Amino acid sequence: MECVFGLVGDGFVIVASDTSAVNSILVHKTNEDKIMKLDSHKFVAASGESGDRVQFTEYIQKNVALYQFRNGIPLTTAAAANFTRGELATALRKNPYMVNILLAGHDKETGPSLYYIDYIATLHKVDKGAFGYGSFFCLSLMDRHYHSGMSVEEAIELVDKCITEIQSRLVVAPPNFVIKIVDRDGAREYAWRESVKDTPIAQPEALGV
């Protein structure tokens, strides 16, 4: 039921993911941020087993940081994607990580890029990608409406169309989504789309104490 999707626009990449943390029939929380900042200009949007997701993406994040300290310059998005794929591939036939990743980044020399990396270490450089049941709906919508060189407004419109489609057509649709953007100025959160907020704890006065 997890949904992660993203697309490349004019000088930027947008990634969106649902924010529900679920265990069987229980929803642990509805504001789980699954898009981790890898460095100043890269995001890793991951879906899959929550333990593996956090372990693996944090491991990648720390190795990306180590590279930067050792070499004085950051990894390119392509290099980070290939490194991530390599780690998944190495673990695959012993202890596979059940994590699907969309790696989004912006490099000064080559601009924005998006990489599709699935749990069996497939690596593709793509303009648009999606994981999860939501992908059945997102990919079709993106095929219909995407064109290269979209502006931020156009891209967000498409992202919102995808979210609306997921929420109306998927049987156990996640209620909330987070949208993040990477461009020349860095990686940052763009917006949340919330239809359910965590209920606040009742105050003592309200209980008539």
Partner 1 sequence: MARYDRAITVFSPDGHLFQVEYALEAVRKGNAAVGVRGTDIVVLGVEKKSAAKLQDSRSVKKIVSLDDHVALVCAGLKADARVLVNKARIECQSYRLTVEDPVTVEYITRYIAGLQQKYTQSGGVRPFGLSTLIVGFDPHLGVPALYQTDPSGAFSAWKANATGRNSNSMREFLEKNYKETSGQETVKLAIRALLEVVESGGKNIEVAVMTKDQGLRQLEEAEIDAIVAEIEAEKAAAEAAKKAPPKDS
Contact residues toward partner 1 (CB under 8 A) are 58-59, 62-63, 65-66, 69-70, 72
Shortest Å distance, C-beta 64 to partner 1 = 9
Q: How far apart are CA 67 and CA 14, in angstroms?
A: 25
Shortest Å distance, C-beta 65 to partner 1 = 6
Shortest Å distance, C-beta 90 to partner 1 = 18
Shortest Å distance, C-beta 185 to partner 1 = 18
Distances (CA, A) of 49 to 18, 56, 106, 117: 14, 10, 27, 15
* Other Cβ atoms within 10 Å of 189 Cβ, number: 13
Shortest Å distance, C-beta 63 to partner 1 = 7
Describe the crossing of helices 152-169 and 135-145 by its angle, rounded to 10 degrees: 140
Q: Report the residue number, 29 or 197, with the smaller CB distance to partner 1.
A: 29
Q: Report the residue number, 62 or 197, with the smaller CB distance to partner 1.
A: 62
Shortest Å distance, C-beta 53 to partner 1 = 15
What are residue 198's phi and psi, to 5 degrees?
-60, 135
Q: Report the residue number, 66 or 172, with the smaller CB distance to partner 1.
A: 66
| Paired tokens of 190 | 């763009």
Q: Report the residue number, 69 or 168, with the smaller CB distance to partner 1.
A: 69
Q: How far apart are CA 12 and CA 152, in angstroms?
A: 8
Q: Report the residue number, 40 or 118, with the smaller CB distance to partner 1.
A: 40
Q: Report the residue number, 54 or 139, with the smaller CB distance to partner 1.
A: 54
Distances (CA, A) of 131 to 17, 67, 183: 9, 28, 22
Q: How far apart are CA 183 and CA 166, in angstroms?
A: 26
Do 45 and 101 contact (CB within 8 A), yes or no? yes
